[in-house]
């Protein structure tokens, strides 16, 4: 192996080491619990795609944390009554009166960037200035990054959901959890780079 080959190998090893250290720090900083009494807000916003997210959003709505629940990323075939199909807990109830008065479904998002964009539009139309953001704990760092980038003037309070099947204690021992966290961390890195570059362009343009 020539000198260039060794340099490439060393660079690859260094990247793997840096990525691995970053992954460990990323997992260590993930929230393990949600606030027992979160602050009230203009809306509860739930991102679909993980277990118990809608259940937690409904619980916050019923507890009076916000006057309205916005669920982003809902399949276009699901209507207000069909939202019950997204509930994981058989003990969770979604009364018709809450569906009629206080539930809004967003059908325009297929990923986290889309969640942020459709929520931004909905928040602006209603002149809402604060939200409780509900998503899985492992997804929360990227969600907060995208939402803060899309809505810098909105007060966003994270309300992480703790999935029972994502084992953060000794996570490296469980292949499914390891793969999930590694994938999410990689997505978080790409999102950070994209948001950073977008911020530079905004500064230059101004």
CB-neighbour burial class of residue 149 (10 A; exposed 0-12, middle 13-18, buried 19+): middle
Mean pLDDT of the chain, nearest integer: 90
Is residue 129, in this structure, part of any structural domain at all? yes
User: What are residue 161's DSSP bridge partners?
Assistant: 136
For the residues 26-54, what does the mean pLDDT come to? 90
Q: Which pLDDT band holds residue 78 (cuts at 50, 70, 90)? A: confident
- pLDDT exceeds cutoff 90 at 95: no
Residue 195 near residue 149 (C-beta atoms within 8 A) = yes
Range of the domain at 52: 43-168
In the predicted structure, residue 1 carries a pLDDT above the cut 70: no
Give a yes or no: residue 29 inside a domain. Answer: no
Using the predicted structure, report yes or no on whether residue 198 has a pLDDT greater than 70.
Answer: yes
For 117-129, what is each residue's pLDDT tens digit?
999 999 999 999 9
Q: Is residue 96 part of a domain?
A: yes
Q: Break the chain down into helix, strand, coil percent, rounded to 5.
A: 50, 15, 35
Q: Is residue 8 part of a domain?
A: no
Whether residue 88 is predicted with pLDDT greater than 70 in this model: the reply is: no
Q: Does residue 13 lie in a domain region?
A: no
CATH of the domain at 127: 3.40.50
In a domain, 199, yes or no: no
Q: What is the pTM of this model?
A: 0.89
Question: Residue 107: which residues within 8 A CB-CB, separation 6 or more?
Answer: 74, 75, 76
CA proximity to 38, closest of 153, 138, 145, 160: 160
Distance CA 113, CA 130 (A): 19
Within-domain flag for 121: yes
- The number of folded domains in the chain is 1
123 in any annotated domain: yes
């Amino acid at each position: 192996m020539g000198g260039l080959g060794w340099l490439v190998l060393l660079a690859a090893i260094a990247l793997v080491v840096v990525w691995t250290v970053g992954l460990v720090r990323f997992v260590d900083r993930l929230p393990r619990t949600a606030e027992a009494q979160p602050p009230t807000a203009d809306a509860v916003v739930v991102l679909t795609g993980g277990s118990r997210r809608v259940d937690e959003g409904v619980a916050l709505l019923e507890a009076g944390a916000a006057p309205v629940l916005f669920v982003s990323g809902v399949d276009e075939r699901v209507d207000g009554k069909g939202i019950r199909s997204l509930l994981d807990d058989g003990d969770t109830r979604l009364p018709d009166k809450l569906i009629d008065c206080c539930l809004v479904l967003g059908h325009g998002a297929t990923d986290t960037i889309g969640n942020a964009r459709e929520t931004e539009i909905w928040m602006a139309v209603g002149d809402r200035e604060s939200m409780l953001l509900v998503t899985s704990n492992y997804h929360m760092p990227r969600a907060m990054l995208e939402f803060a980038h899309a809505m810098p003037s909105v007060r966003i309070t994270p309300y992480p959901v703790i999935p029972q099947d994502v084992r953060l204690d000794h996570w490296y021992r469980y292949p499914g959890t390891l793969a999930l966290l590694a994938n999410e961390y990689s997505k978080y890195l790409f999102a950070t780079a994209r948001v950073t570059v977008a911020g530079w362009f905004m500064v230059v343009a101004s």
